[in-house]
Amino acid sequence: MFDKIVKWAREDIDKICHYLVCTLISLLITLTLGLIFGITLWISALVGIIIGVVIGIIKEKYDSKHGGIFDLEDLLADIAGSASGALIGTIFILLT
């Protein structure tokens, strides 16, 4: 089982990076807006998701204009990461 996970991670490391970067971006935005600026929880989470997804779209547009392709799978990883980051941030804010 572990070998299958390692094989998958090696083949799709780009998707994992997209997921993790957008998770971090969305988490930081959600926490900053919610804890430092005191913005309501659902708005903080929504803005975190939107910013993460927009950065993912910008990255894919950049790739498509510089010899790559606009990869929808990368964008799906960005969306999932952004939602995860906002969820983690929301849970953290609720627990503090």
pLDDT tens for 54-67 read 999 999 999 999 99
* AA identity, residue 62: Y
pLDDT tens for 28-85 read 999 999 999 999 999 999 999 999 999 999 999 999 999 999 999 999 999 999 999 9
Report the sign of the C-alpha dihedral through residues 54, 56, 59, 63, in that order: negative
Residue, of 88 and 6, whose pLDDT is higher: 88
Question: For 8-29, what is the mean pLDDT?
Answer: 91
* pTM to 2 decimal places: 0.89
Residue pair 50/85 in contact (Cβ under 8 Å)? The answer is no
Best CA proximity match to 90, nearest among 20, 21, 43: 43
Task: Mention every residue, 6+ apart, whose C-beta is less than 8 A from residue 80.
Answer: 19, 22
Instruction: Please say if the pLDDT value at position 4 is more than 80.
Output: no
Q: Residue 90 is encoded by which pair of tokens?
A: 């929301």
